[in-house]
Structure 1
Amino acid sequence: MTEHYIGPEGIKAKRASYFYPCTQHFYQNPPQIVTGSMQHLYDEKGKEYTDFFAGVSVVACGHCNPAITGATMSQIGKLQHTTTIYLTQPIVDLAERLAELLPGALRRTFFVNSGTEANEGALLLARMHTGRKGFIALEQGLHGRSNLTMSVTGLSMWRTDPFLEEEVYFIPRPYRTGVTPEEAAQDSLKALDKVLEEQGHTIAALIIEPIQGNGGIIVPPEGYLQEVKTRLERYGVLMIADEIQTGFGRTGRMFAIEHFDVVPDIISMAKALGNGVPIGAFATTDHIAASLNRPSASTFGGNPVSSVTGIAVLDYICKERLVERSEELGHILMQGLEQLMISHRAVISEVRGKGLMIGVELLASNPDIGAILTDQVIEGMKEQGFLIGKNGIDRNVLAFQPPLVIEDKDIRKMLRVLEVVLARLELPEEIEVGVGRDPR
């Protein structure tokens, strides 16, 4: 029996009728996605797309991966839900597996349903442990859409609530146009010092993405996070590493924080852990975990289906060496994009990232036009069968975050197509070759 699809126009009509106006979509002419298999997606007409965004780093193990969906479906047929007040095995087995993989002495895990909840829980834990209320966060960071996580979010487009927490102190991220990474890092550290000197006794934690995702895929310079941790420890302020987008192999390490030789006090995770099944968690040490001792629960957090899925994800990542694969294929992708930057200097200002989390900023000298060109590129790539994301504070950064099961041949084919799409861009006359941000 042939399935009936209402098509993109039908879906857009229903969204207009039943969704809130805040819900948007990519593309002027979006496809209706109906099926997926590993690194590929298919629309209602059967057209194949190679996915280079992975649902914003969610399906790291690939769409509908049989090794994972098989475990999920098996558990659905046995036991779907009880909540944590009953004893079930999958949730404790997953917690045990995570303890084996988490950095340092992090070993206690609280399971929730999403990245927002994971960060909310991590912030609560920091308050409970320190007895302090305030937080420090980086400008242009993104941590969630609840009131508290939105309060520590530095990206203005995601700060929707007009009544956010006031005791949040933002410091510059270690990245800025027109200065070296070292200078940007020093400016950030000076701002951190000032906040700590003036408010350190009121600050519970600093929350930070080891690599900023939606802020444009920003990698901190060497030594920055170590300096941050040292300063926090002087004032008894905890460090929360938000690994929602970077965790589970995305950057060529199991967790991105491991690139920087720093062990946070609390780590939050979600996205790739469920490979599309809702799950989130925050983890910490025995000592800090002891502070979260008043009755608490998450109705659906760590339910049997999500937990079995998470175990299958970790098994697959380890068995298939996806962490190492991300690092190896990331080098190929990075080198290819850097070559395109050389031949398209008028458009590409910078290529940055780690592993299979790479951003390509377009026209940093004129980000408004860069954002227009970014939309043209992702539209052109979509027409040629490749789905690429976008982010950045001006939405002028192409985001390459494919499933970690992507293949060498997929990357090389995508690069060839991207070369053609870039060559077809119509640039305004005032754009001069070589104008833009100094590549680092």
Structure 2
Amino acid sequence: MALNPTFKSLFRRSSPFIRIFASRSHGLQASTKAQVAMPKCNIKPEPYSGITFEDAVKIRKSNINPALFTFYRNPVFIYKGHMQWLWDTTGKRYLDLFGGIVTVSVGHCHPVVVEAAEKQMKNLWHTTNIYMHPTLHQYAAELVEKLPGNLKVVYFTNSGSEANDLAMLMARMYTGTFEVVGTRNAYHGASPYLMGLTSLSTWRYNVPTGFGIYQTMNPDPYRGPWGGSHCRDSPVQTTRKCDCPADRCLATDHYLEQLEDVLRHSMPKGRVGAFFAESIQGVGGTVQFPKGYLKGAFKMIRERGGLCISDEVQTGFGRTGTHFWGFEGHDVVPDIVSLAKGIGNGFPLGAVVTTPEIANKMSEALHFNTYGGNPISCAVGSAVLKVIEEEKTQENSLVTGTYMLEELAKVQKEFEVVGDVRGKGLMIGVEMVTDKESRTPLPAEHFAEIWERSKDLGALLGKGGLYGNVFRIKPPMCITKDDVDFAVDVFRRSLAGYEKGIKS
């Protein structure tokens, strides 16, 4: 849409939503495209016969944690899942694009995983690890086989928060240095121990947290002060201009200078205990670091005696497509890796994997987890690894995820409110703004309109980011290109409907 100089001046000073209307022609053109039908599914669930939605709402208000939020103004009442599909109690089917918060890796109720759990349940549920049982040892050997270097010792936990708690303790014990560094905008758990490491104000209570924990500037090529169109390891780049030469990311140099500044001023005698980083920030809104940042950060930390900890709770098990672990895409090998979510395809399972040298330090006192390494959870973990390998879900994440990113990039060009499309494999984020020039986060009530429309049209999207303005797309890794076509069409129609509503 060509703008004359006078209108361009008014356009820059006008309300962001006026700028939206000026670009609406793209959305109207998109809304006239033929609607993509929801792909077929050969599963027909049994009719639901449990408690009513109304009764569930009453119980939730009276008997369940009041801080536990639900998605959507009109929440979905899910009772059945199969692979990438979910059904509510009315029988309506949804394409799950969030995978139970990046947790369902190989598919809801995957038959191979279900069979493994059922078989184990008939033999042995629980003994704790004071006794030896086969599934724990079999799974531990299978898991470490997937990890590089000397990452050979596994501690089983029940969740990602437990895993990160333990990883932090390990690093402090091994190095003898209490101070830990993370990045702003990171999420590593909400336990009292980790709340200081989670650098998102929306997840922090007003209590003393963060003793011995520091955060460096988040290296975000879209929202940070540095970065642009050549900085991310992604099929889709930010629209910000980039002055980086082909062989070097200048943004990385600047963000590493910020880390150096934190280490210089805040660490005792130049030493540091550990550095925590997600390979791609999950809860923070699928933020990708500029190329080379983690490699430079790991080098800097190790020069000061610290350990490097990769939080693979969301990016592990092939989700990023190019590698089995997200950190491998940064050309680094950490000292400690924390795992959860996709490790058990939704079954409560987590782990910390480290080197024998670090693990030996933890033998100075007893360490025990009653349910960690439970026979059923280990059987499930083994089955998940089997499915990932046999059904090539990592390859599917790369091929189908790249296709989805490229299709979403087309939507970005059509709508002014789509500020950034980013990610790798099936770890995708779409950041919503009032307009591309200012990058002002789209207000919550406007974001919710698009979100609700997508749900009503049959696609369940996640959300995240400090401002709650990022659509998080992390579906089960069995999703197909036909599913992507449907999902993108739903998103496009939701955007067109939102813009039409704003104008009217």
Q: Shift of residue 184 of structure 1? A: 4.7
1:322 paired residue number: 393
CA contact (8 A) 2:97 2:475 kept: yes
Cα deviation digits, residues 117-143 of structure 1 (max 9, x gap): 000010111011111111101001000
Tell whether 2:420 aligns with 1:350. yes
CA contact (8 A) 1:139 1:173 kept: yes
1:144 paired residue number: 189
Q: Shift of residue 2 of structure 1? A: 5.9
Q: Shift of residue 103 of structure 1? A: 2.4
Instruction: State the alpha-carbon separation in 2 of the partners of residues 275 and 319 from structure 1.
Output: 16
In structure 1, give the amino acid aligned to 2:331.
D
CA contact (8 A) 2:97 2:460 kept: yes
Give the 3-state SS of the residue equivalent to 2:419 in structure 1.
Answer: strand
Give the 3-state SS of the residue equivalent to 2:161 in structure 1.
Answer: helix
Instruction: State the alpha-carbon separation in 2 of the partners of residues 316 and 370 from structure 1.
Output: 40
CA contact (8 A) 1:126 1:238 kept: yes
Alpha carbons of structure 1 residues 429 and 15: separation in structure 2 relative to 1, 3 Å: closer
Cα deviation digits, residues 330-377 of structure 1 (max 9, x gap): 111000000000111x11000011100110001164645343332212
Instruction: State the alpha-carbon separation in 2 of the partners of residues 391 and 24 from structure 1.
Output: 13
In structure 2, give the amino acid aligned to 1:209.
E
1:196 paired residue number: 263
Cα deviation digits, residues 52-107 of structure 1 (max 9, x gap): 00011111111001110110011111100001110111111111111110122211
CA contact (8 A) 1:367 1:394 kept: no
1:257 paired residue number: 327
Q: Shift of residue 203 of structure 1? A: 2.4
Instruction: State the alpha-carbon separation in 1 of the partners of residues 502 and 107 from structure 2.
Output: 42
Tell whether 2:61 aligns with 1:16. yes
Mark the runs of 5 or more structure 1 residues left unpaired by the alignment: 431-440
CA contact (8 A) 1:53 1:389 kept: yes
Give the 3-state SS of the residue equivalent to 2:499 in structure 1.
Answer: coil
Aligned equivalent of 1:186, options 224, 242, 253? 253
Cα deviation digits, residues 262-300 of structure 1 (max 9, x gap): 001100000011111101000111222221112111000
Aligned equivalent of 2:128, options 83, 89, 95? 83
Instruction: State the alpha-carbon separation in 2 of the partners of residues 234 and 70 from structure 1.
Output: 48
In structure 2, give the amino acid aligned to 1:317.
I
CA contact (8 A) 1:37 1:62 kept: yes
2:107 paired residue number: 62
Give the 3-state SS of the residue equivalent to 1:275 in structure 2.
Answer: coil
2:97 paired residue number: 52
1:101 paired residue number: 146
1:292 paired residue number: 362
Instruction: State the alpha-carbon separation in 2 of the partners of residues 14 and 367 from structure 1.
Output: 38
1:165 paired residue number: 210
CA contact (8 A) 2:417 2:442 kept: no
In structure 2, give the amino acid aligned to 1:319.
E
Give the TM-score, by structure 1 length. Answer: 0.94
Cα deviation digits, residues 169-219 of structure 1 (max 9, x gap): 110111134532556533431221122223154521011111101111011
Give the 3-state SS of the residue equivalent to 1:208 in structure 2.
Answer: strand
Larger Rg: 2
In structure 2, give the amino acid aligned to 1:195.
V
Cα deviation digits, residues 351-408 of structure 1 (max 9, x gap): 0111001100011646453433322122111111111101111000011100000111
CA contact (8 A) 1:356 1:401 kept: yes
Instruction: State the alpha-carbon separation in 2 of the partners of residues 386 and 424 from structure 1.
Output: 15
Instruction: State the alpha-carbon separation in 2 of the partners of residues 78 and 402 from structure 1.
Output: 32
Give the 3-state SS of the residue equivalent to 2:195 in structure 1.
Answer: helix
Give the 3-state SS of the residue equivalent to 2:194 in structure 1.
Answer: helix
Mark the runs of 5 or more structure 2 residues left unpaired by the alignment: 1-45, 229-248
CA contact (8 A) 1:173 1:185 kept: no
CA contact (8 A) 2:312 2:337 kept: yes
Aligned equivalent of 2:409, options 323, 329, 338? 338
Instruction: State the alpha-carbon separation in 2 of the partners of residues 215 and 318 from structure 1.
Output: 29
In structure 2, give the amino acid aligned to 1:282.
V
CA contact (8 A) 1:52 1:403 kept: yes
Tell whether 2:73 aligns with 1:28. yes
CA contact (8 A) 1:222 1:260 kept: yes
Question: Cα RMSD (Å) of the superposition?
Answer: 1.8
CA contact (8 A) 1:172 1:187 kept: no
In structure 2, give the amino acid aligned to 1:354.
K
2:244 paired residue number: none
CA contact (8 A) 1:33 1:44 kept: yes
Instruction: State the alpha-carbon separation in 1 of the partners of residues 176 and 86 from structure 2.
Output: 48
Q: Shift of residue 10 of structure 1? A: 2.5
1:389 paired residue number: 462
Q: Counterparts in 2 of 1:177-256, with a 5 A limit? A: 177=224, 179-181=226-228, 182=249, 184-198=251-265, 199=267, 201-252=270-321, 253-256=323-326
Q: Which runs of 4+ in 1 moved over 4 A?
A: 181-184, 427-430
Aligned equivalent of 1:402, options 472, 475, 482? 475
Q: Counterparts in 2 of 1:264-303, with a 5 A limit? A: 264-293=334-363, 294-303=365-374
2:429 paired residue number: 359
Instruction: State the alpha-carbon separation in 1 of the partners of residues 477 and 47 from structure 2.
Output: 32
Give the 3-state SS of the residue equivalent to 2:308 in structure 1.
Answer: strand
1:434 paired residue number: none
Give the 3-state SS of the residue equivalent to 1:151 in structure 2.
Answer: coil
Aligned length in residues: 429
Q: Shift of residue 8 of structure 1? A: 3.2
Instruction: State the alpha-carbon separation in 1 of the partners of residues 260 and 501 from structure 2.
Output: 43
Instruction: State the alpha-carbon separation in 1 of the partners of residues 394 and 442 from structure 2.
Output: 36
CA contact (8 A) 2:96 2:460 kept: yes
Give the 3-state SS of the residue equivalent to 2:381 in structure 1.
Answer: helix
Alpha carbons of structure 1 residues 161 and 241: separation in structure 2 relative to 1, 3 Å: farther
In structure 1, give the amino acid aligned to 2:256.
L
Instruction: State the alpha-carbon separation in 1 of the partners of residues 168 and 225 from structure 2.
Output: 34
Give the 3-state SS of the residue equivalent to 1:290 in structure 2.
Answer: helix
Give the 3-state SS of the residue equivalent to 2:210 in structure 1.
Answer: coil
Instruction: State the alpha-carbon separation in 1 of the partners of residues 358 and 308 from structure 2.
Output: 12
In structure 2, give the amino acid aligned to 1:321.
K
Instruction: State the alpha-carbon separation in 2 of the partners of residues 90 and 322 from structure 1.
Output: 23
In structure 2, give the amino acid aligned to 1:218.
V
Larger displacement relative to structure 2 (155-164 or 312-321): 155-164
Q: Shift of residue 39 of structure 1? A: 0.5
CA contact (8 A) 2:218 2:224 kept: no
In structure 2, give the amino acid aligned to 1:216.
G
